[in-house]
Amino acid sequence: MNIVKLLVVPGLLFLVLTGFGFLVSKGGKPYNNLLFNIHKLIALGAVILTGIRIFRLDPFNTFSNLALLLIALAGLGVISMFATGAVMSIKDEVPRAALMVHRVFPAAILFAFLGAVYLIINIQLVTL
């Protein structure tokens, strides 16, 4: 299977998710319920779709250890994004640490995942 084709839709969902995140943050607290719920549902859908597509590639047999580590780090980043998003939605005053994590981790997740994709594509090209 072509990894680029498998990850185009999750990549587009990441961009849409980021856009909705900016819209939610620009509205300020209390968050617009419609935008906030769309943001959460897109995030959940993107995570599920990306996970399904990664496991279709049979990661434990075909990925390098470094690629698996980068995917695991991206997964931990996604979990932290869900946790900080929940904290931000519950609390009236958003803790600075949660806000910082929620602003910085999307870039960290993106770089970790792109690094893994780069390693996977290079390994597939070498084995051809």
pLDDT tens per residue, range 1-36: 566 677 788 888 888 998 888 888 888 878 888 988
Long-range contacts of 5-9 (CB under 8 A, 24+ apart): 6/53, 6/56, 6/57, 7/50, 7/53, 7/117, 9/49
Is the pTM higher than 0.95?
A: no
The 10 Å CB-count burial string (b at 16+, else e) for 86-99 is ebbeeeeeeeeebe
pLDDT tens per residue, range 57-80: 777 777 888 989 999 999 999 999
Break the chain into its structural domains and give their ranges: 3-127
